[in-house]
Amino acid sequence: MQYSVREIRSRRDLRRFIAFPDRLYKACPQYVPALHGDQMHALTKAAPLQYCTRKLWLCEDEKGRIAGRICAIVNPRYNELYGKKRARFGWFDTIEDLEVARLLLGTAEAWAKEMGMDEIHGPLYYNTLGKQGMLVEGFENTPVFNTLYNYKYYNDFVTALGYGKECDWVESKVAADQGVPEQLARLAAVLMERHELHEAKISVLMKDPAWVRHFFEVYNEAFAAGVQNFIPFTEAEIAEEAASVMRFLSDDLSTVLLDGQDRVAGFGIAFPDISKALQKARGHLFPFGWYHLAKALKDCSTIDLMVNGAAAQWRGTGISAVFHVLMSEKAARAGAKVALTNPQIESNSASFVWDKYASAEPYMRRRCYLKKI
């Protein structure tokens, strides 16, 4: 079979680019389709495109059928922050044919060289918010909605093409109704009393734009030191995230901790798991996708532990124990049975806390690959 790669230049091809994984993974019960509208926004109007440069390509066979896709990105803010000349690749999908992967990644690498880059890594999004990390373990499991799923052969292909491990993210599955280990509960009680820590009312604070901005300032602080490839959010990214995600935060599952001066000390965010609803929606909100999603948001039997973090001055104090206690109590009240953690860098000490839970078990492992070009 002969294949060719061409750049996306029309709206029609962009829609084909977005829809390709739905066909590729049609027979895969674990795959969770992204909403096509969200993908269209991400590829054409997302806030990071104000400073990122990106190119999209399709690989097609002799009959014009799509065999693969890829996006290559240059993020100048990342390169300036880390002193690198790196491009990144994302939206990488391919049929089980090494030649297709070779053509796609080779095209991305050639463009990266033209842009003055000497390395390429991925799969990554423009910034830290999007789906990233190639699945290397846990293929039998269904991913949480904001993470990638891929076939095993993807890893064989990228390693055969000269890519090596840059870092791994790990995810865990925990019984949500077991409570927290006694050691964490004692530490949380001491910290709450000693530092006058108390919960904010998220539903009230969300109405205050100044507080939302303060929250993201703390978010930037919390992850600047411990999150691989983290890039602080711009004003436009903060506004976009606040509009798209923050409105779904609920006091029922999430917590924001304030110190004695009512400043944000840290936060823990969780959502009801919506992966099965997205599978039923098949990439579209209409005609019935919205119904499946609305129903899933009311079902807390399985929850996604999205993220937690602490303000810079609280780093290393054990404040995560407070998040664990408060969120465990909320999960119990909501009737949660299973909690799935979001990806955490394997070297991050925050991921080690799950070792204290008797019920914790590995769920998925993801990898960012790196290659000199």
Average predicted confidence (pLDDT) for the chain: 93
Residue 364 has pLDDT above 90, yes or no: yes
Q: Is the dihedral of CA 81, 351, 157, 64 positive or negative?
A: negative
Calculate what percentage of the chain has a pLDDT beyond 90: 74
Q: Higher model confidence: residue 178 or residue 153?
A: 153
Q: How confident is the model at residue 304 (pLDDT cuts 50, 70, 90)?
A: very high
Task: Choose the weakest-confidence range: 131-135, 223-227, 367-371.
Answer: 223-227
CA-closest candidate to residue 57, choices 44, 72, 45: 72
Q: Provide the token pair at 114.
A: 């033209």
Report the distance separating Cα 369 and Cα 89, nearest Å: 10
Calculate what percentage of the chain has a pLDDT beyond 70: 99
Q: Provide the token pair at 274.
A: 């919506």
pLDDT score of 239: 87
- What is the 8-class DSSP label of residue 128? S
CA-closest candidate to residue 103, choices 72, 70, 74: 70
Report the distance separating Cα 211 and Cα 205, nearest Å: 6
Domains and CATH numbers, the chain: 3-170 (3.40.630.30), 174-361 (3.40.630.30)
Report the distance separating Cα 316 and Cα 358, nearest Å: 23
- Tokens 């991913």 locate to 143
Residue 81 has pLDDT above 90, yes or no: yes
* pLDDT tens-place string over residues 306-325: 988 888 888 888 898 998 99
